[in-house]
A and B are shown apart, each in its own frame.
Chain A
């Protein structure tokens, strides 16, 4: 396969699509930057997506 090349001025790469990666990505777009969110698994979400409720308020985590 051919080698792809992407160029967006001032883009940021985020390695890891868990809660930290997703939050950083959303904030960076808010701050005016293009983001590549790179995740080794087939879906983003990380461990937090496996949790049902969160401490200490037992809110839903999804």
Chain B
């Protein structure tokens, strides 16, 4: 995790939040830091202390499924990578005995004299992201948890299926260790349940249950899995497909409420009742409770200290149109504390919160951050002078690999002028030694044989820069993760392997060159495409952060779909909000609005885009050229119009959007309405779920009941997907007399005309009989389709999903970025979503887009490709193969030549491996270097081989 390395993030772990005084821009936060009893600067995370600690300690990270020691680290990749002592079970801290760990630690990191410290922080803004809490055991016990060992929670099951978990990924019953053959998942444990005062839907359980079921099925294809559910809420982007995959793999979905789980011989018996009120039993080996997300355990404490309000479920209270703003100015919320949500939603909110905080503190931008400076780079000279440093890593490498032998083996290698070993090469003092030796022996290439370059190369590169060497003049050899750890019982073979790997690295570094650090300046402006709520929010957010943008809208007015809505599910007046938003956009000096606009062309790359925007029509038509550093796509979507259920043929058949306008206009409600959900969605014209229609139907049903309490409203649905706090409105509608009846996809409702009457015929799955109604109106929930994404996709070379929504760079961790650098997406162009999610996503896209604008330059890793235009034959193969559009064909002296766009290059090397004239060099991975490595692998007289290469 990158956060551990940033000089501008100070991590304060083991910290309690005690107070928050002051106002935005000038808060004082009070914290108490509990001691770790281990000095983080000295701890090398070698793990010796845990081996020697005599006490057992329940491993919370593994959900109590394993034991660890009071002195431990949760997992190998933990940040900070420092062990800590749990005072609750440490013998010394409890009884003043033991202290075995103190002399065991070779780096003298253990310090029992540490005391709690109080700390005041001066901060300009606060972001609350405390996550979520666990469902109480009492709720779990209703389903046999704690009473029978084979009833486990979904998170315990997750740890069980994890290959690096306590059972190495083996799924077994706790009672007798057998492999379960029948597994049941019970959904909505602690969610949608007023019994435990959690009336909301936790929004993530359906997804993780399907995931865990799929993983269990992969482990053992013969295992039978049944998921007991009320509604399967896989409303997120591409989520229904995974559900389909699960069904295809034979995972059974049963719509039923589970009443009880009781022991039955060696197994467990589930008592459940299905929709038509039939009671049944089923036998299982293992029962998994899909536990919901509770508000954080200390939510009330945090709220009191931070001075913010909570909602009725103790989550942070926010509004639809300002989803991340708490009741205290300057305090922003993100993640599950705002309401149960999955990873991409949390990541989106986090970026949005960062942008909001930045918007509050524009004046102080850049003042508090640390910029490191380095000495000037030394001239390398022609002579190759290699230094080899072999690390023992305490006993991690040294106990298996014969480190002195490996080090000695380099003595007569060509170019090696210095070689040594060290106990921990990554330690602070070893870094000083490294710097000193570089100077002393005038080294110009360095080989470090230690651990993984993936974790430690940046550290050594920093040291090289400090020593005045170019940071590319180092090669790391991984003799720990990929040698001593995996060949622990074969010390001789491991030593041989280390020698070979070091020899190959030495061969490689001989050909290393200093690579220049490249930066590309950025035009600090944004092009925002789409003038709906997403685009306007993004442009305003950028303007709050001090950046200029051009907001282009293809229609005559700003507003998009929001103009078609009347109220939100929470009852806010959307028209008022829209007017306020448009006013703010129009008033902002940094936003240039162009309506009736069309993108005539767009070219360039991150930092340096140039677009031509055409606007107006006829004689008023004009074109402007706009240079910008980033692009925000907010092109939106529209209601889908399926040719189903007589839509467009009978005027009594309308869509939810049309009904909403009709209700708002006439202020009168029809006497009887039948709503049909998923009309054209989830398998018909559209393969996906549009996420908003269930809420829209509930909102309109409630409105009808408000206008006309006697009206008959029947909603025919497949799964009601009123996730999150919208579940409350769904419950309210049911209590208010709205009738919800699920239909089977194999038996869809039928709408037909009989005389002047409109009829709906459907199979009532509750009464188990066919019904025929003649309502005043039939209302269809029709779903959302994206608009104009295909043209833009071609222009930007940005990929789309099968459904023609933009495909984000990483669905979990980079939800608003596209794979093309400098292009961001938000709103319906990314996928169907409700207003609050659109707003948060637009704020997130603006925050992400602002990052290169703030930096003012895009820095390029020096390992990018370089085309030798002398030998390039201009075939264009590389440009056609590059997955990042990072190679362009240019005219040089009237000849076609390839040229790398350094800012877009990801250094994958596909171009280099395909170039027929060997004209493309990858920094640090040149043909010469890799060939030298292969030659050294052969181990034949290297000099000879190097000449061949």
Residue positions of A touching B, CB distance < 8 A: 1, 3-59, 61-62
Q: State whether A14 touches B129 (Cβ < 8 A).
A: yes
Known A1-B115, A59-B812: A50·B211 in contact at CB below 8 Å: no
Taking CB atoms, residues of chain B closer than 8 Å to A14 are 126-127, 129
Q: Is the interface of A mostly helix, strand, loop or mixed?
A: mixed
Q: How far is the CB of A46 from chain B (nearest CB, A)?
A: 5
How far is it, in angstroms, between the C-alpha of A41 and the C-alpha of B77 when the chains are bound? 15
Contact A16 B335 (CB under 8 A): yes
B129 touching A32 by the CB < 8 A rule? no
- A23–B815 Cα distance when bound, in Å, is 12
Partner of A52, one of B115, B161, B236: B161
User: In angstroms, how far is the closest chain B Cβ from the Cβ of A41?
Assistant: 7
Is B121's CB under 8 angstroms from A27's CB?
no
CA of A8 to CA of B369, assembled, Å: 8
The answer to the question of B773 belonging to the interface, with a C-beta cut-off of 8 Å to chain A, is no
B47 to chain A, nearest CB (A): 15
| Interface segment out of the listed B8-16, B442-450, B645-653 | B8-16
The smallest beta-carbon distance between A42 and chain B, in angstroms, is: 4
B370 neighbours in A (Cβ, 8 Å): 34
Pairwise interchain contact A43-B127, C-beta atoms closer than 8 A: no
Minimum C-beta distance from B808 to chain A (A):
12
Given contacts A20-B334, A21-B335, 12 further A-B contacts (CB under 8 A): A13-B127, A15-B17, A17-B11, A21-B334, A23-B346, A39-B14, A40-B15, A43-B73, A45-B79, A47-B155, A50-B158, A52-B165
Q: Can you name 14 A-B residue pairings with CB atoms under 8 Å? A: A4-B118, A9-B368, A13-B126, A23-B350, A26-B3, A27-B355, A27-B848, A28-B357, A31-B545, A31-B854, A33-B365, A34-B369, A39-B12, A49-B78
**B interface residues, Cβ below 8 angstroms from A:** 1-3, 6, 8-17, 25, 27, 29, 31, 36, 61, 63, 73-75, 77-80, 84, 115-132, 155, 158-159, 161-165, 207-208, 210-211, 214-215, 234, 236, 238-239, 241-242, 302, 306, 334-337, 342-343, 346-347, 349-351, 353-355, 357-358, 361, 363-370, 545, 811-813, 847-848, 850-851, 854-855
A37 to B354 CA separation, bound complex (whole angstroms) = 13
Q: Which residue of A lies closest to B242 (CB)?
A: A56
CB distance from A61 to the nearest CB of B (A): 8
A44 pairs with B3, CB closer than 8 A:
yes
**B212 nearest CB across to chain A (Å):** 9
> How far does the alpha carbon of A29 sit from the alpha carbon of B7 in the complex, in Å?
9
Cα distance A25–B919 in the bound complex, in angstroms: 41
Taking CB atoms, residues of chain B closer than 8 Å to A41 are 13-14
Judging by beta carbons under 8 Å apart, are A47 and B355 in contact?
Answer: no
Q: Which residues of A contact B1 (CB under 8 A)?
A: 22, 44-45
User: In chain A, what residue has the closest Cβ to B305?
Assistant: A15
Q: Are B353 and A56 interface neighbours, CB within 8 A?
A: no
Query: Which residues from chain B contact A42 at a C-beta distance below 8 Å?
Result: 13-14, 36, 74, 84
Q: Taking the nearest CB of chain A, how far is it from the CB of B813, in angstroms? A: 8
B129, A52: Cβ atoms closer than 8 Å: no
Residues of B within 8 A of A32 (CB): 358, 365-366, 369, 854
Residue pair A12, B357 in contact (C-beta under 8 Å): yes
Q: Give the docked Cα–Cα distance between A28 and B332 (Å).
A: 13
Q: A33: which B residues are within 8 A, CB to CB?
A: 8, 124, 357-358, 361, 364-365, 368-369
Q: Is the CB of A27 within 8 A of B364?
A: no
User: For residue B132, which residues in chain A have a CB less than 8 angstroms away from its CB?
Assistant: 47
Docked CA distance A21–B664 (Å): 41
How far is B61's CA from A42's CA once the two chains are assembled, in angstroms? 11
State how many angstroms separate the Cβ of A47 from the closest Cβ of chain B: 6
- Closest Cβ of chain B: how far from A5's Cβ, in Å? 5
In the complex, A58→B545 CA distance in Å?
Answer: 36
- CB-based contact A19/B158 at 8 Å: no
Nearest B residue to A23 by beta-carbon distance?
Answer: B350
B15 to chain A, nearest CB (A): 5
Q: Which of A16, A20, A55 counts the most chain B CB atoms within 10 A?
A: A20
Q: Which B residues touch A39, using CB under 8 A?
A: 11-15
Check A17–B13 contact: CB distance below 8 A.
Answer: yes
Q: Which residues of A contact B848 (CB under 8 A)?
A: 27
Give 9 nearest A-B pairs by CB, closest first.
A10-B364, A20-B335, A8-B368, A56-B242, A23-B350, A27-B354, A34-B368, A9-B367, A52-B162
Task: Determine whether the beta carbon of A5 is less than 8 Å from that of B369.
Answer: no
Given known A-B contacts A40-B14, A56-B238, A6 and B121 have beta carbons under 8 A apart = yes
Which residues of chain A are near B117, meaning CB under 8 Å? Answer: 1, 4
Contacts of B123 in A (CB 8 A): 11-13, 36
Given known A9-B368, A24-B350, contact A47–B131 (CB-CB < 8 A): yes
Contact of B126 among A12, A46, A61 (CB under 8 A): A12
Q: Are B8 and A34 in contact (CB under 8 A)?
A: yes
Give the CA-CA distance A37 to B793 in the complex, in Å.
38
Whether A5 pairs with B78 at a CB distance below 8 angstroms is no
Nearest A residue to B10, CB-CB: A36
Cα distance, A24 to B129, chains bound together (Å): 9
Instruction: Report the minimal beta-carbon distance from A16 to chain B, rounded to whole angstroms.
Output: 4
Given known contacts A10-B361, A19-B347, A56-B211, A35 and B811 CB-to-CB distance under 8 angstroms: no
Cβ B11 vs Cβ A44 within 8 A: yes
Cβ of A18 to closest chain B Cβ, rounded Å: 5
A8 to B123, CA, bound (A): 7
Among candidates A4, A18, A58, residue contacting B211 with C-beta atoms closer than 8 Å: A58
Contact of A20 among B15, B210, B350, B358 (CB under 8 A): B350
Quick one: which of A37, A49, A56 has the most chain B CB within 10 A?
A56
The smallest C-beta distance from A51 to any residue of chain B, in angstroms, reads 6
Partner of A55, one of B84, B130, B164, B210: B210
- A17–B357 alpha-carbon span in the complex (Å): 17
List the A side residues contacting B10 at CB < 8 Å: 6, 34-37
Nearest CB in chain A to that of B126: its residue: A13
Q: Which residues of B contact A4 (CB under 8 A)?
A: 117-120
Q: Are A16 and B12 in contact (CB under 8 A)?
A: no
Chain A contacts for B847, CB-based, 8 A: 27, 31
- Contact yes or no, A30 B851, CB < 8 A: yes
Residues of B within 8 A of A52 (CB): 158-159, 161-165, 215
Minimum CB–CB distance from B723 to chain A (whole Å) comes to 14
Supposing A16-B130, A36-B10, A44-B11 touch, asked if A58 and B350 sit within 8 A by C-beta, the answer is no
Chain A nearest CB from B217 CB (Å) reads 11
Q: Which residue of A lies closest to B17 (CB)?
A: A15
B129/A18 in contact, CB under 8 A: yes
Distance between Cα atoms of A12 and B332 in the complex (Å):
11
Min C-beta distance of A32 to chain B, whole Å:
4
Question: Most chain-B CB neighbours within 10 Å: which of A26, A42, A53, A57?
Answer: A42
The residue in B13, B14, B36, B848 that gathers the most chain A C-beta atoms within 10 A of its C-beta is B13
If A18-B335, A48-B343 touch, whether A28 touches B120 (CB-CB below 8 Å) is: no
User: Given the complex of chains A and B, what is the CA–CA distance between A48 and B303 in angstroms?
Assistant: 24
- Please give, as numbers and ranges, the residues of chain A lying within 8 Å of B125 by CB-CB distance: 12-13
Contact B367 A10 (CB under 8 A): yes
Q: Are the C-beta atoms of B241 and A56 separated by less than 8 Å?
A: yes
Asked if B122 and A24 sit within 8 Å, CB to CB, the answer is no
Given A11-B123, A16-B129, A28-B357, A45:B366 Cβ within 8 A? no
**Which residue of A is nearest B347, CB measured?**
A23
Give the distance in Å from the alpha carbon of A45 to the alpha carbon of B78 in the complex.
Answer: 8
Q: A36 to B354, Cβ gap below 8 A?
A: no
B13 touches A24 (CB 8 A): no
Known: A4-B120, A29-B369. A54 touches B8 (CB 8 A): no
For A26, what are the chain B residues with a Cβ–Cβ distance below 8 Å? 2-3, 6, 9
In the assembled complex, the CB of B34 is this many whole angstroms from the nearest CB of chain A, namely: 9
Q: What residues of chain B lie closer than 8 Å to A20, measured between beta carbons?
A: 129, 131, 334-336, 346-347, 349-350, 353
Task: Give the contacting residue for B121; candidates A11, A22, A25; CB below 8 A.
Answer: A11
User: CA A54 – CA B351 in complex, angstroms?
Assistant: 20
Q: Select which of A9, A21, A57, A61 is within 8 A of B129 by beta carbon.
A: A21
Q: Tell me whether B155 and A50 are in contact (CB under 8 A).
A: yes
**Chain A residues near B78 (CB-CB < 8 A):** 43, 45, 49
CA gap between A50 and B122 in the complex, in Å: 33
Chain A, residue nearest B11 (CB): A37
Please name all residues of chain A whose beta carbon is closer than 8 Å to the beta carbon of B306 when the two chains form the complex. Answer: 15
